[in-house]
Structure 1
Amino acid sequence: MRADLNAVLEEAFAEASNIYRERGFQRKVGFGAKPALISVDLANAWTRPGNPFTCEGMDDRIIPAMQDLLAAFRRNKLPVVHVTTCYQVTDRANPDTDMGLWHNKIPVEAVPENRKDLWAIDSRIEPIEGEQLLVKKRASSFHGTYLAGFLRAAGVDTILVTGVTASACVRTTVCDGLAEGFRTIAVKEAIGDRVPGAVAWNLFDIDAKFGDVETVESCVEYLDGIGASRSAAQ
């Protein structure tokens, strides 16, 4: 099924690309001078088996890609923000729940605040001292959080977005990041989802309208280039 779906998507993307290019879409926002990594919801509920939020491709693709990116950000001393999601009040009958109305669509009660083992960042890519851990309540990492202010204060002009899911929290973070004035880069191998086709379709659409889709390799080269330029200037 996946092979057939991928073939259909590739055919659709080729036709759509022609339409977009003819109409002036698929432009490049490009890399800026100072990037930050925004890692969205790569916590145990999403990265480990057995949770309603569990996503595909973690062990063989996303975690290794994240490890490469984190190593590059850390050796070049650039900002990293780990984003996760949890809820204080998971009683759907309580009108004061911090789940808002989202529980009417998805099982957000699967990540209660009192189960830190579920919303903690995966130990294979966990934060180190000096990196931000941001808890959000909605899909976008920007909605109702201090993220935009933190990035501006740090002089960041570019965000490399990774994580899950391509169709929801990653996508809305990318869209809001661009709206907040940041150059948005979706890192291809470090983005996942729960259902077949969701990553491919959303990355295609993001690349057409909301940000650039770049490989881990090109992102690491960019990060190391910043580090080299900084060393040369000292």
Structure 2
Amino acid sequence: MTARAMTQHTEKLADKWGAHFPAAELEVLAAAGYGARMGFGERPALLVVDVTYSFCGTSPMPVLDAVRANRRSCGAWAWEAVGSMRRLIDAARTAQLPVVYSTMLDPGDAAYEPGLWGAKNARGKEDSPAPAAGPRRDNDVVDDIRPAPGDLVVAKGKPSIFHGTNLLDHLIARGVDSLIICGGTSSGCVYASAVDGFSHNLKVTVVRDACFDRVETPHWASLLDIDMKYGDVIGIDEAVAHLGGLTCRVS
């Protein structure tokens, strides 16, 4: 890389990530060549990761209040992201692209195996196979972006949407070559799914406005790491514009 190209690359990373990370760290990443733009694939699928009442809560309350009510909830931040997800989902359906939702396996499901989840959370004993009060269960997708007929809903037991599921078979059958990912949490299931998508040689795009977490530091660190090594992190307007451009290729 020429000196001029290196300077330009460093400036691009600073413009994109400078509000969240020290310039010296971004300079190191640029010098190592990370953060090149991968670009979109020809036939994407939209993955909507774990946008459930468990992770969003039942209303957009402050996050500390939200986690006191439900240890997984991300509070108001999750509900802010749902609006951007709605735009993404509408654009994907207009383009007739596959839309895939994930939820966590419910503790009451016969296939549920907690594994080591409880070892990393002091409140893990609060998980219960009993149905949640009222018409909703924790692992239902929120009504604002509920799945439509023909959408795939994947129940998973681990962070990645690929782990132990039939998702890859579903994508291959539909000729999918790339993923556009949204949902939560950025540092957990979104990150794990993005890395696994990359590992299956699928081009990965993550829409930052349509992702959420409980706290900001792991949110931004995970998005940066994806953008440096595993895919492209972009804004909602660019994602919707790209999906809108695909409609001309739908027969």
Q: TM-score, normalised by structure 2?
A: 0.80
2:23 alignment counterpart:
14
| 1:98 matches 2:113 | yes
2:182 alignment counterpart:
162
How big is the alpha-carbon RMSD for the aligned residues of Structure 1 and Structure 2? 2.1
| 1:67 matches 2:79 | no
Q: Distance in 2 between matches of 1:203 and 1:13?
A: 15
Cα 1:108/1:161, change in 2 over 3 Å: farther
2:48 alignment counterpart:
39
| 1:218 matches 2:225 | no
2:173 alignment counterpart:
153
Please state whether the residue corresponding to 2:46 is helix, strand or coil.
strand
1:81 alignment counterpart:
100
| Residue of structure 1 aligned with 2:224, choices 204, 219, 223 | 204
Would you say how many aligned residue pairs link Structure 1 and Structure 2? Answer: 217
1:159-206 per-position Cα deviation (integer Å, ceiling 9, x unaligned): 011111111111000000000111011111011111232211211111
Give the 4+ runs in structure 1 shifted more than 6 A: none
Q: In the alignment, is the contact (CA less than 8 A) between 1:121 and 1:127 conserved in 2?
A: yes
1:23-44 per-position Cα deviation (integer Å, ceiling 9, x unaligned): 1111122101011111111001
Cα 1:142/1:97, change in 2 over 3 Å: closer
Q: Distance in 1 between matches of 2:220 and 2:161?
A: 21
Q: In the alignment, is the contact (CA less than 8 A) between 1:102 and 1:108 conserved in 2?
A: no
Q: Distance in 1 between matches of 2:24 and 2:179?
A: 29
Q: Distance in 1 between matches of 2:112 and 2:142?
A: 26
Higher relative contact order (CA 8 A, sep 6+): 1
Q: Give how far 1:20 is off.
A: 1.2
2:203 alignment counterpart:
183
1:93 alignment counterpart:
none
| 1:51 matches 2:88 | no
Q: Distance in 2 between matches of 1:209 and 1:113?
A: 41
Q: Distance in 1 between matches of 2:141 and 2:20?
A: 37
Q: Distance in 1 between matches of 2:214 and 2:20?
A: 22
Q: TM-score, normalised by structure 1?
A: 0.86
- Residue ranges of structure 2 left out of the alignment (5+ in a row): 1-17, 58-65
Cα 1:197/1:108, change in 2 over 3 Å: farther
Q: Distance in 1 between matches of 2:183 and 2:130?
A: 20
Q: Give how far 1:114 is off.
A: 4.3
Q: Distance in 2 between matches of 1:125 and 1:183?
A: 24
Q: Distance in 1 between matches of 2:90 and 2:192?
A: 26
1:29 alignment counterpart:
38
Aligned residues: percent identity? 30
Q: In the alignment, is the contact (CA less than 8 A) between 1:87 and 1:99 conserved in 2?
A: no
Q: Distance in 2 between matches of 1:108 and 1:126?
A: 29
Q: 2:127 is aligned with what amino acid?
A: A
Residues 110-121 of structure 1 correspond to what in structure 2 (within 5 A)?
A: 110=127, 112=129, 114-115=131-132, 117-121=137-141
Cα 1:117/1:51, change in 2 over 3 Å: same
